[in-house]
A and B are shown apart, each in its own frame.
Chain A
Amino acid sequence: MFRLNINAVDYDLDIDPDTPLLWVLRDHLDMTGTKYGCGINQCGACTVQINGKPVRSCQVAAGKILKQRIVTIEGLSVDSSHVVQAAWVEADVPQCGYCQSGQIMAAAALLDRIPDPSDEDIDRAMNNICRCGTYQRIRKGIHLAAAKLAEKAS
């Protein structure tokens, strides 16, 4: 039995601690917003935040992240009001949508670190695959979110 803190809720889990966080979320907790795309640290569809950093949940054994602050797409905001989510709607980013939870979690973590990222910052940080090719709009969405952040701050 071990305890994970996900979206500010503690979950006591009686499962194999080697289970990757991705499958704990999907199969045990039915939090299906976090997606499986490759399972080998290539695509980023499974991106969540652990202590504010973007982490590929298919690569993290659940038993290794006790007492860490885990945030999934379901916990990014209660009402889709996070700046990145709002910007994504405004910039019409998603197509099929499958990669977008991961993209949004990665983008939100980038903005936490660099509130006004340059194109180069975005190139470096956004390494997730989108098979529908929404990249141009992801870039636009991140700049838009940065502008929203600046507006909030002023």
Chain B
Amino acid sequence: MSKGVAIVGRRGFLKSGVTAAGALLVAFHLPVKSASVPAVVIDESAVGDQADEINAWIFISATGVITVRVAKAEMGQGVLTALPMIIADELEADWSMVRAEFASANRNYVQSGVYRDMATNSSTAIRVSMPYLQLAGAEARQKLIKAAAEKWQVSVDACYAEYGKVYHRPDGRWFSYGTLACLAAELSVANVRIKTPDQFSLMGLPTKRLDTPAKVNGSAVFGMDVRLDGMLYAAIIHSPVEGGVVRNVLFNAIRNMPGVVQMVRLESSVAVVAKTFWEAKVASEKLPVTWRIGDQANSYSDALRDQYIATLDSPGVIVSEQGETTAALDSAETVIQSDYFLPYLAHAAMEPLNCTVRITAARLDLWAGVQNADAALAAAAQASGIRPENVYIHNCFLGGGFGRRANMDFVSEAVTVAKAVGKPVQLIWTREQDMRSGRYRPMAAIRFQVGVDLKNTVVAYTNHSVSHSILKDLGAPLRNGIDPTSVEGLANMPYLISHKKIAHTIKNTHLTSWFWRSVGNSQNAFAMECFVDEMAEATKLDPMAFRKLYLAHRPDLLKVLNVLEQKSQWRHNPAAGRAKGMAIHACFGTIVGQVAEVSISSDGGLMVHKFTSVVDCGHVVNPLSAEMQIESGIIYGLTAALFGKISIENGEVVEGNFDTYSMLKLRETPLMETFFMPADSDRWGGLGEPGLPCVAPAVANAIYKLTKRRIRSLPIADYFLQPV
């Protein structure tokens, strides 16, 4: 079968896709018309401005190929397609001629924010960049029209742009964009006007993703796929207990192992550098290291959980108070109280953290999948001492982000190691390092207490939450003693109850917390929406009816509830042995209502059969990727609900890989149906995160119907479920 013999010695192979100059070119083909146009280009030369670009966002070649710079990270959510769609729509471009390119963080630094904020988080890629991307596209269109008018010596009013051409209205003459680009680049225009949503031609149409072709043949370049001439690989060993520092390390024990080049000792980690990653990893596992670890070594998750729950008895810091809660509770006919608990979670992106760094004299080049190229640039400059204007970040595809890749710990570390080595280095965290040296979704305990009167009305509501604060870990300012991210979904709980008091207590441990898909909403919506079902039961109402009644003042939420009731066939009994549970939650500018349909087998096996989602995010750029994001949020949320738990013993994180930190598989995947509400205002809600928060409560509420047992802590796998 062999076509030929290639002799390959160690590192003797031509670097695939890497040119002599080290430029990474990933070229592949659009799924549609122009088979010759590469749809995504990662090119390190794209640093300064090109003389004939229309503006910083748009370059049009003489042959009409339109390159759109994308200043956000592509981590699966589809920005590499959606953001060019925004520009192309305003530009009146022929979409088949559009390709995407990651924008340069270096240029963003040197040209004082020409690409605005490159951070990709909080479901903001579209919400926030929409207006300035529209302006960029519209400005380019107006420049092209002006160029045509100048060539014809006619008024711009006699010209219009359509589908990649500028036409002269009276006689139908036209120029293609490619022939106008050079001149247009020299012109300037004033009074740039953007479209209103009714004028969109491309936005709102389900559009194939530009990055799909590269993701079905292995050619998409993720951080870990970068190959540079003379590159070495590093494996890193962090202190097993967060906060520990290296006391002693015996490099001599591994010095002569195959491939080992050197060791780099950092304060709380040690990197082993070798000719291949496998050799680095094998040697690092044999490296004798001792650590200096303080009191953290006495930390256990069970004890921490008890402490969190005990803290619920303290009054906490008042977040908001309305009416006379204490008096109302005293006079209530019945009082119900429930405590909820949520563990730490790891992000566990599919691609373990990694970063590749090359430092030459006064220049630093860095390849990685990062959620914030600006921050990566700053971190690399700081860790290397190289001036920021000489730092170049080559953003690669991210093998998942979920918040983790917005933290620059792995970037600074790789830069420090590469600086010590003096050669290009790719530093990779093993899965175990990725999970055990994580930045975790906060642990939280949440208490609710409500009073119900004789007429079965909820008259008083108190809530106290205790959670690990992300902002405190960051040293960022708190707001009146509160980390707003910790009370998302609690502070603004939408249910109308006359007397209410909401309190919070910050309680941090030795772990470091961090933003995790949907942030505070991920834990708070679980507790809130499960407790709403408890309130419904206490007031003898169906969960849907309760929500409608107590949300009567919120037409935005009611609308979603009504559609959800219909689409999920809420009133129809599900198949025998199954039950439905629901939840509704608003975050990141988007409202999501979900119904889960579940069953439990006699041996306690839980099956989630179906998820019906109703989403009101206002306008949608690409309905295709919008739907994919909701599906993605459901699976991510369901994985956490069923299995997710990071536990601590002797201060160390116990779970290290997918054998102990389980992931949902295809066979456990529910059927997912997603409905988008038609846009009724000029709102562009986020989509990366809002699909997640309702998942756990919807499932837990359905389980209650089958078992009569409330799920008040996650993961559900900790419960033995028995249908009654």
Q: Report which A residues bind B (CB closer than 8 A).
A: 5, 8-16, 19-20, 23, 26-40, 42-43, 45, 69, 72-74, 76-77, 80, 85, 88-89, 92-101, 104, 122-124, 126-139
Contact = CB atoms under 8 A, between A and B. Distances in A.
Contacts of A72: 218
Contact of B277 (A12, A23, A30): A23
B51 interface: no
Contacts of A89: 31, 208, 212-213, 216
Kindly list the 9 A-B residue pairs having the minimum CB-CB distance in the complex, ordered from nearest: A33-B218, A133-B635, A98-B399, A97-B215, A96-B76, A95-B76, A123-B667, A23-B278, A73-B218
B224 interface: yes
Contact of B632 (A30, A95, A99): A95
A123 B631 CA distance: 18
Contacts of B397: 96-98
B217 A85 contact: yes
Contacts of B227: 30, 32
Which secondary structure characterizes the binding site on chain B? loop
A96 B400 contact: yes
B246 to A, nearest CB: 24
Contacts of B398: 96
B75 interface: yes
A70 B271 CA distance: 33
B657 interface: yes
Contacts of A29: 8, 13
B436 to A, nearest CB: 14
Contacts of A32: 16, 218, 221-222, 224-225, 227
B217 A26 contact: no
Interface stretch (B306-314, B346-354, B498-506, B528-536): B346-354
Contacts of B492: none
Interface string B263-287: 0000000000000111000000000
Contact of A96 (B14, B399, B671): B399
B664 to A, nearest CB: 8
B454 interface: no
B15 interface: yes
B457 interface: no
Contact of B278 (A27, A80, A93): A27
A26 B281 CA distance: 14
B665 A127 contact: yes
Interface string B38-81: 00000000000000000000000000000000000011111000
Nearest to B633: A133
A13 B13 CA distance: 11
Given A29-B13, A32-B225, A99-B350, A80 B277 contact: no
Contact of B8 (A28, A33, A92, A139): A28
Contacts of A27: 233, 276-278
Given A45-B350, A123-B667, A74 B217 contact: yes
19 contacts: A11-B7, A13-B8, A26-B277, A28-B276, A29-B13, A31-B16, A35-B350, A38-B431, A42-B659, A88-B212, A89-B213, A94-B211, A96-B399, A97-B397, A98-B400, A127-B665, A128-B665, A132-B635, A133-B669
